[in-house]
């Protein structure tokens, strides 16, 4: 596939590249704008400091997980043109493998696990996602983009269906009993952040560690709940992972390797006819991308203490696509900004608006159903319809998401940052004079 079906003028310079501090500043500016937007809602809603910080950490959390997954998808689709519609499948493999490996051998409820330490479970989850990626990459070499989309979607659905099947609820591997918990889901190992603050990670009531004492007391001075402090810490960890993903993928992208990937995306035959083993590049890229999705799944769903097959529905994959399309496929910075904007505006935005309206506007009648909401429109009474719409904001959010997707494909297929020239090289190719080491560092 090419991303080339675009007609547009080229901006050799635009404001996003002229910012002092470059893309980091751009990302920080976007996040500050989101914080302002969410903060304003919080203030209007009359939240206290704890509640305000909590809503800011929620935004940070979602912005980070969408950025992480959009970055992983950008490697596959943005760079190499591999249209993977099975992102959730690889997330699920990562999370469930991690869960099965790290769950206790004799849990209080649910199927037993292998009882291995969490880091091993985490590595196992990432590797499992990579292995399934390898399996899926084989057809990638043989079929066209749209077939590949259907294959990956089918694979993700197979994974979800199998996980939720009663047959997978509990089964044996050799002499060891284990399972996925079927449709009921599975409780997951406690988020390791807890062990920083609490002596017993499983129960905060048991007491706090010295670090916990110190940090909590600082925050308590400004009336911030310890539970919020724990969440803020984890959101901070996720931001760290966004940075890691970004650095890693930028190094891959801005290199001869990324150059070949771009060439494959533009015209695979040309890349091959220039001596590049396109199959190797595609398979490697796909596997690494899937491993990063597995890790992304663990960082997101795996941190929630509980997971179930319902977390891995296909629309979750489409959200990640939308985030990437908004930001601009092919751009790592765009992936982060797309993830942040999707999480802050499309995902959380409608909910915030609905909460706000709920709190400040009261309508005479609350219609019971669509008909009761629409009939008053005939007599120009729009109140019931508005109330109904606000009650159904979750559905309207999907309609908004779909409309924005179509809008972008029609009017701005390159996304917000996709128009930028991001040259795939580890040095500045235009500056011949930069001979000395470090002179042309990024």
Residues 376-395 that bind another protein (CB under 8 A): 389, 392, 395
Q: Which residue lies nearer to another protein by CB, 230 or 260?
A: 260
Task: Confirm if 233 and 196 have CB atoms less than 8 A apart.
Answer: yes
Minimum distance from residue 8 beta carbon to another protein (Å): 10
> Distance between alpha carbon 350 and the CA centroid of its chain, in Å?
19
Q: Does 251 bind another protein (CB under 8 A)?
A: yes
Least distance from C-beta 271 to another protein, angstroms? Answer: 8
Q: Which is nearer to another protein, 13 or 46 (CB)?
A: 13
Q: Which is nearer to another protein, 231 or 397 (CB)?
A: 397
Q: How many residues does the chain have?
A: 442
Q: How far is CA 73 from the centre of its chain?
A: 9
- Among 112, 115, 201, 413, the residue binding another protein under the rule CB under 8 A is 413
- The residue among 185, 195, 213 whose CA lies nearest residue 306 is 185
Piece of 68-76, 199-207, 313-321, 358-366 that binds another protein (CB under 8 A): 313-321
- Cα of 330 vs its chain's centroid, Å: 16
Residue 266 or 358: the one with the smaller Cβ distance to another protein is 266
Q: Give the footprint of another protein on residues 203-242 (CB under 8 A).
A: none
Residues in contact with another protein, counted by CB under 8 A, come to a total of 98
Should residue 315 be labelled a site residue for another protein when binding is judged by CB under 8 A?
Answer: yes
Binding another protein (rule: CB under 8 A), the pick from 68, 228, 238, 252 is: 252
Show contacts with another protein in window 148-207 (CB under 8 A).
Answer: 149-151, 153-155, 157-158, 161-162, 164-167
Go through 134-156 and write b for each residue having 16 or more CB atoms within 10 A of its CB, e for each that does not: eebbeebeeeeeeebbebbbebb
- Nearest alpha-carbon partner for 32 in 66, 59, 67: 59
Using a 10 angstrom Cβ sphere, with 0-12 exposed, 13-18 middle and 19 or more buried, the burial of residue 291 is: buried
Q: Using the minimum distance from each CB to another protein, give the nearer residue, 211 or 374.
A: 374
Range in contact with another protein (rule: CB under 8 A) among 106-114, 142-150, 226-234, 302-310: 142-150
Under 8 Å between Cβ of 128 and 94: yes
Candidate residues 33, 248, 293, 357; the one interacting with another protein per rule CB under 8 A: 248
Q: Is 425 in the site for another protein (CB under 8 A)?
A: yes
Location of structure tokens 């797309």: 338
- Which parts of 285-304 interact with another protein (CB under 8 A)? 288
The answer to whether the beta carbons of residues 202 and 136 sit under 8 Å apart is no
What six digits make up the tokens of 288?
């690494």
């Amino acid at each position: 596939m090419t991303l080339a079906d675009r007609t547009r003028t080229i901006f050799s310079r635009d404001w996003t590249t002229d910012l002092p501090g470059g893309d980091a500043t751009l990302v920080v500016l976007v996040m500050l704008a989101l914080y302002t937007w969410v903060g304003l809602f919080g203030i209007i809603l009359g939240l206290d400091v704890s509640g305000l910080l909590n809503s800011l950490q929620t935004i940070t959390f979602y912005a980070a997980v969408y950025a992480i997954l959009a970055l992983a998808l950008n490697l596959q689709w943005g760079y190499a043109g591999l249209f993977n519609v099975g992102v959730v499948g690889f997330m699920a493999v990562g999370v469930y493998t991690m869960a099965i490996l790290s769950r206790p051998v004799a849990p209080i409820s649910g199927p037993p696990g292998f009882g291995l330490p969490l880091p091993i479970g985490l590595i196992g989850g990432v590797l499992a996602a990579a292995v399934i990626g390898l399996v899926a990459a084989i057809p990638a070499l043989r079929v066209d983009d749209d077939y590949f989309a259907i294959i990956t979607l089918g694979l993700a659905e197979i994974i979800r269906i199998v996980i939720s099947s009663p047959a997978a609820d509990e089964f044996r591997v050799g002499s060891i009993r284990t399972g996925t918990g079927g449709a009921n889901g599975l409780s997951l190992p406690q988020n390791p952040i807890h062990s920083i603050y609490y002596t017993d990670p499983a129960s905060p009531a048991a007491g706090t560690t010295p670090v916990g004492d110190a940090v909590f007391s600082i925050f308590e001075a400004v009336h911030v709940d310890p539970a919020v402090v724990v969440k803020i810490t984890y959101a901070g960890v996720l931001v760290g992972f966004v940075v890691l993903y970004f650095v890693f993928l930028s190094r891959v992208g801005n290199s001869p390797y990324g150059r070949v990937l771009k060439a494959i995306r533009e015209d695979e035959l040309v890349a091959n006819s220039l001596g590049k083993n396109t199959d190797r590049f595609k398979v490697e890229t796909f596997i690494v991308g899937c491993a990063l999705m597995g890790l992304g799944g663990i960082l997101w769903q795996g941190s929630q203490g509980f997971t179930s097959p319902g977390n891995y529905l296909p629309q979750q994959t489409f959200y990640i696509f939308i985030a990437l399309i908004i930001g601009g496929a092919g751009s790592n910075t765009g992936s982060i900004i797309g993830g942040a904007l999707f999480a802050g505006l499309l995902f959380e935005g409608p909910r915030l608006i609905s909460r706000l309206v709920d709190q400040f506007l009261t309508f005479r009648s609350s219609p019971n159903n669509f008909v009761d909401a629409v009939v008053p429109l005939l007599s120009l009474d729009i109140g019931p319809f508005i109330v109904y719409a606000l009650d159904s904001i979750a559905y309207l959010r999907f309609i908004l998401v779909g409309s924005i997707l179509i809008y972008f494909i029609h009017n701005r297929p390159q996304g917000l940052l996709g128009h930028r020239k991001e040259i795939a090289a580890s040095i500045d190719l235009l500056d011949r004079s930069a001979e000395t080491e470090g002179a042309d560092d990024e």
